A and B are shown apart, each in its own frame.
Chain A
Amino acid sequence: MLFCTPAFVYFLVVVFVLYWALPWRNARVLLLLAASYWFYSRWDPWLALLVAGSSCVDYAIGRGLDAVRSPRARLLLLLTSVVGNLSLLAYFKYMNFFLTSLEAALRQVGMETSFPVLAILAPIGISFYTFEALSYTIDVFLRRIPAERNLFHFMLFILFFPHLVAGPIVRGRDFLPQIRRRKRWNWQRMQVGLQYIVLGVIKKMVISDHIAAYADPVFAAPSGFSSLACWMAVIAYSVQIYCDFSGYTDIALGVAHLFGYRLTRNFDMPYLASNVSEFWRRWHISLSSWLRDYLFIPLGGSRGSRWLTYRNFLLVMLLGGLWHGAAWTFAIWGVLHALFLIVHHAFRQICERWPRLNAACETLVGRVASWLLTLGCVMLAWVFFRASSFVIAGEILSRLVFPRVGARIDLPSTPFVLALSLVIVGHVLGVLLARRQLPVKELDWLNKRLLNAIPARFAPTLGAALGIALVVALLFAADGSKAFIYFHF
């Protein structure tokens, strides 16, 4: 059940009405849990059972970690959880990848083998809820949070339908207290939820789905296309993946707000980053902070020697790349980002020794240049992320670098220009609103940036504008709803 389909709208309306009609807190939790289970089982009831089953195991391990005093037994429990969760992930997501890679490696050394391709249906969102479960057991092991005593609360933490299939990756310490808190109807929350949903629908249905048409044909068979078409496709894909994923996240955040929950923010205008480190603080924040907290820092972070830091960058980004998908193209995407991070880290150290270089970087020209360089690096890395093979990625990169004549994309350029303009206008607005640092205790980032910038008497006008924006977005939506890209991860 996709977020942008009538089926989801009906589902959401029914669950929303029932949720606020129920006066009992526990009944609401059970309702959300049942709705989440039903939501997931629309894809595959057996995989929904698997997710529920693995959540029960993690719940039991969490309770065990809380109850057991012996460090060795606690470590054993933690290992059981880590190995169990990663085994499920490895089996469902990476088994065929391992087998085909092993087969290719053996062929390289002259051993002809043929492993069968297993017919495995990977549970949607497995990478997301595996990381959520892992962060929970690690936090309980490290006594950062107490184990959740209520099984239903724990299961809702994992299964809550807005974040279940494509994040954001929530942490137990953020989400579990919210389940325990009594929910009261709050108009401000509803408003924030609505704003997020409208923003998400515009990003996904108007921008991402339209602009995808410029990327798909080129990434399917780039050999016939001109360099200009390849550049258009790379720009289109950069816009598509941002609007697709952040659009999904916005809808997820908005839907969660409608039920009185607040999910982690996942994006902060990442294409405005002026270096790759900043890009990762703005892009898929819930994943990058997870990798930082549970992988990079335990590996030593940037506290060790220079080479150790570089090794850590490489390891974390390689795993981050593979987290997205079982293919070497994702691994290369991760390695490329690791190299960017390493170069940036080294450059920063040089800047510390050369104050004049540092000052030059801080000028307007220097900032624009570093922004363009970062954007260029990120866009080129997307080629590996999107391409289905190295041959295709290589073909596109060669066409980007060496001008070639060839076919144009057989589509009118209006949707491309319009989508790009919308993204640029959105970013300019975002920057302008972000400058208004209003010292108000806020519910939410978007609320802070958008609503407080507008006087209260304009609320009905803003409401009407929001309603009109939603209808216009639905009218301009691409024909046929496409699945969110991150559903595959």
Chain B
Amino acid sequence: MPSFHPRRQAARRLVLTALLVVPLLVVGLDLCLDRLLPHWEDPERAVLLSRLRDRVAEQPHRPLRLVLGSSRATNAFDGRWLSESDPHGPLVVNVSLVGSSPFTSLLTLRRVVAEGYRPRSLVLEVLPSYLQNPLITPQGQPPELHRLRLADWPLLYRLHPEHSLGLTWYMAEARTARCLRHRAELMARIWPRLAPPDRVRFRAHQEASIDSHGWHSFRMDPVPTEIAKRGFEVARTVYEPALREMRPPSPVFARVMKELFAFCHEQKITVEAVLFMPESSAFRGFYGPGVESGLSEIVSSVCEQHGVRFLDARDWCPDDVFIDGHHLTARGSRLFLERLRREQDRSRN
């Protein structure tokens, strides 16, 4: 052992302790978030699960039907109207998440079941653009990394084995020091007066805008031209490149759907339908030749293999009920749900 001058030794101890404490603290906080406070990182899902908890507590004996999907389903499925208009039917709760892929829907379903709820049935929405690249969302990011917990990683790797290298890179980038990355969200919970006010306002708005059954309604009707125009331009930027040409079907989608259907089968959950949500005619113009029908064929063949009904609702609604070409207004939601109910009645008869 080299002999150190006491002051030098003290300095060495100080530096090494500091260098050890920083990663230990960060990893400790990350683990704490992952194991104990996952809802802090994913407040949207936390709000939806709390809505589900409250509705089931109110009507514990009513069969539960979940709606799983992306923001399109969030805007479209008014669970309260569906539940109240058919008092003998199931209790419908919308647990769709913004930007959700079928993989995230699978995770949500597993969380719901892990919390002790046993839905009788579910409706699953699939975002067509997701089929074009199941690893990367239309926004150019891997699907919902901030919503993944450590326990979800094996499933993610199992379903995306061909992307393991890319996923590892994304994981390392997005998941390292997540307590620091989500510090504004954490601060909004721990000490709201110190958190960025826009973040606190956003959280309050997010919570207030989701109704008792998980529906996120858009009540401005007609949609102000400026909002519609801006929204459509955003949609064009995000979705048009993904829908312009048909790419060979990825095995990941089939694998995720197979896993989801197997889980439903295991938990005795009936999959009522898999859906492509309504889109305006202008939005459908983003599809290149053969892409629209090609994507339908992929989903319908996967559904057929598992005996699940696929409904392509892309042309069900008129153009004036969209906020931005692919998210429905409250009036659009009602039109869509009435049509969906007719379709289901017809299939039953």
Contact = CB atoms under 8 A, between A and B. Distances in A.
Given A414-B194, A463-B17, A474-B180, A468 B8 contact: no
Interface string A404-427: 000000111011001000000000
B194 A459 contact: no
Contact of B10 (A456, A476, A479): A456
27 contacts: A187-B9, A188-B7, A188-B11, A194-B14, A412-B193, A412-B197, A414-B193, A451-B14, A456-B7, A456-B10, A457-B10, A459-B14, A466-B18, A467-B18, A467-B20, A467-B21, A467-B25, A468-B25, A470-B18, A474-B183, A475-B179, A475-B187, A476-B194, A477-B183, A478-B196, A479-B184, A479-B196
A456 B12 CA distance: 11
A73 interface: no
A190 interface: yes
Given A467-B25, A475-B187, A479-B184, A456 B9 contact: yes
B193 to A, nearest CB: 4
Contact of B17 (A186, A411, A460, A474): A460
Contacts of A418: 194
B15 A463 contact: yes
Interface string B262-287: 00000000000000000000000000
B25 A471 contact: yes
B8 A188 contact: yes
10 nearest A-B residue pairs (beta carbon): A467-B21, A463-B17, A456-B10, A459-B10, A463-B14, A414-B193, A187-B11, A191-B11, A187-B12, A467-B18
B180 A475 contact: yes
Given A467-B19, A476-B194, A479-B184, A459 B13 contact: yes
Contacts of A462: 14
A240 B249 CA distance: 55
Contacts of A456: 6-7, 9-10
A412 B194 CA distance: 8
B13 A463 contact: yes
Interface in A388-413: 410-412
Contacts of B156: none
A475 B19 CA distance: 17
B17 A475 contact: no
Interface residues of A, number: 31
B220 interface: no
Nearest to A410: B197
Given A411-B197, A412-B197, A471-B25, A187 B180 contact: no
B14, B17, B21, B26, most chain A CB atoms within 10 A:
B14
B199 interface: yes
Contacts of A479: 183-184, 196, 199
A27 interface: no
A431 interface: no
B186 A475 contact: yes
Contacts of A470: 18, 22
A221 interface: no
B17 to A, nearest CB: 3
Interface of B: 6-22, 25-26, 29, 179-180, 183-184, 186-187, 191, 193-194, 196-197, 199
A464 interface: yes
A466 B14 contact: yes
Interface of A: 186-188, 190-191, 194, 410-412, 414-415, 418, 451, 456-457, 459-460, 462-464, 466-468, 470-471, 474-479
Contacts of B10: 451, 456-457, 459
Nearest to A456: B10
Nearest to B23: A467
A460 B11 CA distance: 9
B13 A460 contact: yes
Given A412-B193, A412-B197, A475 B20 contact: no
B192 to A, nearest CB: 8
Nearest to B12: A187
Contacts of B191: 414
A187 B21 contact: no
A461 to B, nearest CB: 8
A56 B66 CA distance: 70
A467 to B, nearest CB: 3
A418 B193 CA distance: 11
B187 A187 contact: no
A295 to B, nearest CB: 40
Contacts of B9: 187, 456, 459
Given A415-B194, A478-B196, A467 B187 contact: no
Nearest to A198: B18
B9 to A, nearest CB: 7
A126 to B, nearest CB: 33
B194 A463 contact: no
Contacts of A188: 7-8, 11
Contacts of B179: 475
B178 to A, nearest CB: 12
Nearest to A471: B25
Nearest to A466: B18
A169 B139 CA distance: 44
A466 B199 CA distance: 29
Contacts of A463: 13-18, 21
A467 B10 CA distance: 16
A468 B29 CA distance: 12
B279 to A, nearest CB: 34
